[in-house]
């Protein structure tokens, strides 16, 4: 169950980070409330996942997949470019996350 919660936290992390860019473009108080709200949900989910997964493992998976997701989301939603070398390093991040998950003690 902790891994499922962590997966939701990763998605929330990606949406949160992308909402920061979106909110900056909107410039309204309501738009600013979206990333603020998501940050609380995000941290709560990560904390909940850490009840069943070692902190270092949970954080590595959360940040690694979050970073890759934000890069992909930025390309899809905002037309940001992904350089081939950057894509290669993203693959390395995913390999590291998979290895971290496979050998996790929790």
CA-CA distance, 90 to 104, in Å (whole number)? 21
CA-CA distance, 85 to 69, in Å (whole number)? 16
Q: What is the pLDDT along the chain (106 residues), one digit of tens a residue?
A: 999 999 999 999 999 999 999 998 888 888 899 999 999 999 999 999 999 999 989 999 999 999 999 999 999 999 999 999 999 999 999 999 999 888 876 5
Residue 106's alpha-carbon distances to 2, 18, 34, in angstroms, are: 9, 30, 32
Query: CB under 8 Å to 27, separation ≥6 — which residues?
Result: none
pLDDT tens figures, 58-76: 999 999 999 999 999 999 9
Residue 99's alpha-carbon distances to 8, 39, 67, 104, in angstroms, are: 19, 27, 17, 8
CB of 18 closer than 8 Å to CB of 77: yes
CB of 18 closer than 8 Å to CB of 70: yes
Say what the pTM is: 0.88
């Amino acid at each position: 169950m902790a891994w499922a919660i962590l997966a939701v936290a990763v998605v929330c992390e990606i949406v949160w980070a992308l909402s920061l860019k979106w909110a900056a473009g909107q410039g309204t108080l309501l738009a600013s409330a979206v990333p603020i709200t998501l940050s609380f949900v995000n941290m709560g989910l990560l904390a909940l996942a850490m009840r069943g997964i070692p902190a270092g493992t949970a954080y590595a998976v959360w940040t690694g997949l979050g970073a890759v997701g934000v890069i992909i989301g930025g390309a899809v939603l905002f037309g940001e470019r992904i350089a081939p070398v950057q894509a290669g390093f993203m693959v390395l991040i995913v390999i590291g996350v998979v290895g971290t998950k496979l050998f996790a003690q929790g």
